[in-house]
């Protein structure tokens, strides 16, 4: 036998038996986001490599280690590892700054990251996400979080934990980073290898280390003092306080997690995640935040923005498997032409109909009907001659002989 070709590591087929769940995710996204005034946008799956380097940030792992990059006629192209950069590019390129503010966009589609696959993480995975441009007030942060929660509710997912934090603005964050680095300088050689890397790349992440020796170091009073200090400046603090008060008044339960940092460079002020306890170690279904400087960094006008993305495979694994849908009717007949005519007529009227295409025996056809359909529509010689059909309810066994007109009202 010829050698078969397998799917690529970290990718997988979405098979017919699970596609209903994907439709639920997509239909609810359209429905809920539309209620909040969002329009769908579809951007290309590959973009110029530079977009991600500048947009996502060239200190991030996503850009440094995880991109699918290829060359084509002297251009460096990359399969999108996330979609915020692409949407921002489109926002700028299509002059959406001229649209009346806020501009609200949502998307869904595949993303690509070259990572080691594990539970809740694939190399090709799907995100559904939203971006809102033009509002600097914390009302935007609140609405965006509220919509995320509502979307999850619409999927029947209620027991999820919302975590928020504020990273401050570039200025106050820089100060905090420096303080942290100063106080940890003496301990640098005692930190684990990962922490030594984080020390330069993303000092805020140091605090989340799981290595015991590092935890012990961080517990020292002089270091705790820095960690516990509220580093964010007055304006940033006010923004955060307002956001929290909105969430409180809207009845959204959340916890403030000072260790919530997020790895994408573009975030400032508000960051948030929504987590589930039923997902294993990759437990965030939603991640997002404010990114006020990204539009400008990518060459647009200075425009504040907030957004989030959800991992659709992760959402999917939280959804119960819906009952597979059956056909409305299966025509049992040994007269293909008559079966065709009846099937087409019923299909034109919106019914889902199949019939046997291989001229199987009557009992076989009926057996098939009982597996795939709610009704068997029996169109044998007797019925054809009499100009009617026999309709059998396959759940109850009830059978009636009716005219074709009557048949329509039965299904």
Partner RNA sequence: GCGUCUGUCGUCAAGCGGUUAAGACCUCGGAUUGUGGUUCCGAUAUACAUGGGUUCGAAUCCCAUCAGACGCCCCA
Q: Which residues bind RNA (CB under 7 A)?
A: 6, 8-10, 60-62, 82, 113, 115-122, 125, 127, 194, 198, 202, 205, 208-210, 261-264, 273, 280-282, 284-288, 309-311, 313-314, 360-364, 366-368, 370-371, 376, 378, 380-383, 390, 392, 394-395, 397, 399
Closer to RNA at the Cβ: 60 or 303? 60
118 or 229: whose CB is closer to RNA?
118
Q: How far is the CB of 390 from RNA (least distance, A)?
A: 5
Nearer to RNA, 10 or 50 (CB): 10
Q: Which is nearer to RNA, 303 or 365 (CB)?
A: 365
Based on CB atoms, which residue is closest to RNA, 118 or 245? 118
Secondary structure, 3-state, the chain: CCCCCCCCCCCCCCCHHHHHHHHHHHHHHHHHHHHCCCEECCCCCEEEHHHHHHHCCCCCHHHHHCCEEEEECCEEEEECCCCHHHHHHHHHHCCHHHCCCCEEEEEEEEEECCCCCECCECCEEEEEEEEEECCCCHHHHHHHHHHHHHHHHHCCCCCCEEEEEECCCHHHHHHHHHHHHHHHHHHHHHCCHHHHHHHHHCHHHHHHCCCHHHHHHHCCHHHHHHHHCCCCCHHHHHHHHHHHHHHHHHCCCEEECCCCCCCCCCCEEEEEEEECCCCCCCCEEEEEEECCCHHHHCCCCCCCEEEEEEEHHHHHHHCCCCCCCCEEEEEECCCHHHHHHHHHHHHHCCCCEEECCCCCCHHHHHHHHHHHEEEEEECCHHHHHHCCEEEEECCCCCEEEECHHHHHHHC
Q: What's the order of all strands across the beta sheet hosting 373-378?
A: 353-355, 327-332, 373-378, 389-393, 399-402
Closer by beta carbon to RNA, 1 or else 73: 1
The tokens of 213 are what? 């020796």
> What's phi and psi for 71, nearest 5 deg?
-105, 140
Q: What's the min distance (Å) between Cβ of 368 and RNA?
A: 7
Closest contact distance (angstroms) between CB of 370 and RNA is 3
- Taking the least distance from each CB to RNA, the nearer of 118 and 255 is 118
Instruction: State in angstroms the smallest separation of the CB of 393 from RNA.
Output: 8
Tell me how far, at minimum, the Cβ of 266 lies from RNA, in Å.
10
CB of 122 to RNA, least distance (A): 6
**Minimum CB distance to RNA, residue 372 (Å):** 9
Return the number of the residue (113 or 239) whose C-beta is nearest RNA: 113
Tokens of 239: 């923004």
Nearer to RNA, 169 or 271 (CB): 271
72 vs 210, beta carbon nearer RNA: 210
CB of 199 to RNA, least distance (A): 11
User: Between the CA atoms of 169, 174, 175 and 180, what dihedral angle is there, to the nearest 10 degrees?
Assistant: 120
**CA–CA gap between residue 119 and residue 346 (Å, rounded):** 44
């Amino acid at each position: 036998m010829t050698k078969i070709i397998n799917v690529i590591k970290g990718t997988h087929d979405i098979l017919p038996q699970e596609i209903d769940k994907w439709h639920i995710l997509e239909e609810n996204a359209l429905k809920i986001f539309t209620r909040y005034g969002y329009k769908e946008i579809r951007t290309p799956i590959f973009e110029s490599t530079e977009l991600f380097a500048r947009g996502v940030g060239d200190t991030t792992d996503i850009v440094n280690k995880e991109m699918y990059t290829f060359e084509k006629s002297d251009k460096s192209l990359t399969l999108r590892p996330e979609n915020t950069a692409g949407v921002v590019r489109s926002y700028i390129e299509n002059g959406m700054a001229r649209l009346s503010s806020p501009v609200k966009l949502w998307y869904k589609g595949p993303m690509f990251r070259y990572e080691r696959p594990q539970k809740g993480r694939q190399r090709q995975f799907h995100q559904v996400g939203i971006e809102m441009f033009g509002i600097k007030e914390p009302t935007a942060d609140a609405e965006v979080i509220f919509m995320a929660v509502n979307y999850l509710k619409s999927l029947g997912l209620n027991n999820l934990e919302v975590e928020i934090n504020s990273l401050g603005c570039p200025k106050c964050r820089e100060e905090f980073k420096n303080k942290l680095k100063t106080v940890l300088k003496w301990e640098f050689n005692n930190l684990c290898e990962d922490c030594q890397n984080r020390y330069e790349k993303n000092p805020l992440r140091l605090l989340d280390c799981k290595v015991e020796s590092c935890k012990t170091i961080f517990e020292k009073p002089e270091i705790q003092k820095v960690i516990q200090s509220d580093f964010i400046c007055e304006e940033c603090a006010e923004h955060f306080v307002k956001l929290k008060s909105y969430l409180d008044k809207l009845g959204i339960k959340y916890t403030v997690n000072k260790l919530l940092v997020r790895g994408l460079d573009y975030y400032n002020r508000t960051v948030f995640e929504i987590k589930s306890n039923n997902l294993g170690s990759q437990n965030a279904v939603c991640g997002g935040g404010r990114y006020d400087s990204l539009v400008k960094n990518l060459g647009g006008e200075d425009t504040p923005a907030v957004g989030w993305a959800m991992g659709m495979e992760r959402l999917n694994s939280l959804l119960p498997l819906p009952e597979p849908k059956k056909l409305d009717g299966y025509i049992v007949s040994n007269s293909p032409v008559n079966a065709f005519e009846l099937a087409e007529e019923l299909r034109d009227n919106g019914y889902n109909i199949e019939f046997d295409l291989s001229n199987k025996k009557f009992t076989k056809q009926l057996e098939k009907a009982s597996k795939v359909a709610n009704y068997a529509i029996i169109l044998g010689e007797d019925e054809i001659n009499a100009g009617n059909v026999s309709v059998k309810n396959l759940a109850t066994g009830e059978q009636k002989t009716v005219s074709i007109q009557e048949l329509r009202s039965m299904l």
